[in-house]
Amino acid sequence: MVTATGGGCSSRARFHERDRRRCGSGRGVAPSEAEYCRSRPDPAEHVAVRLAAKEAVYKALQGSDAARGIGWRDIEVTRATDGRPDVALTGLAASRAKELHVKKVLLSLSHTHEAAVAIAVLSTD
């Protein structure tokens, strides 16, 4: 059963000038996310889509005052062994997911050289 959905979007141009700093600073992205972004030909595209994904998951987890305290570092965009996007939750994000009885976070990402969009679906199945 779908418990909640969330969407996020981000402009790649927003990160073009800052992509190297953002991918190395630990602000907004986890070290493993930064490493992945740096390994791609256009790191800004991948930073933008990860931040859109974090926003989508954050929105899907909302609904309580405590959930407003979820930070970007509590949501990590990973890759499943088959290459599809996945999510690892820690801290307040993991607590909120447990409270909602979430068993799986389904994530869809799309990006171009101009924009990035993500949709998150929380499932209790």
Choose the CATH number for 2-123 among 3.40.50.1370, 3.30.70.100, 3.90.470.20, 1.10.3720.10: 3.90.470.20
Query: Would you place residue 18 in the very low, low, confident or very high pLDDT band (cuts 50, 70, 90)?
Result: low
Higher per-residue pLDDT: 113 or 59: 59
Task: Give me the amino acid identity at 89.
Answer: L
The pLDDT, as a whole number, for residue 87 is 96
Averaged pLDDT for residues 19-38 = 70
**The pLDDT value given to residue 46:** 82
Distant-in-sequence, close-in-space partners of 99: CB < 8 Å, separation ≥ 6: 64
Q: Token pair for residue 110?
A: 């799309």
What's the CA gap between 110 and 73, in Å, rounded? 21
Residue 15 has pLDDT above 70, yes or no: no
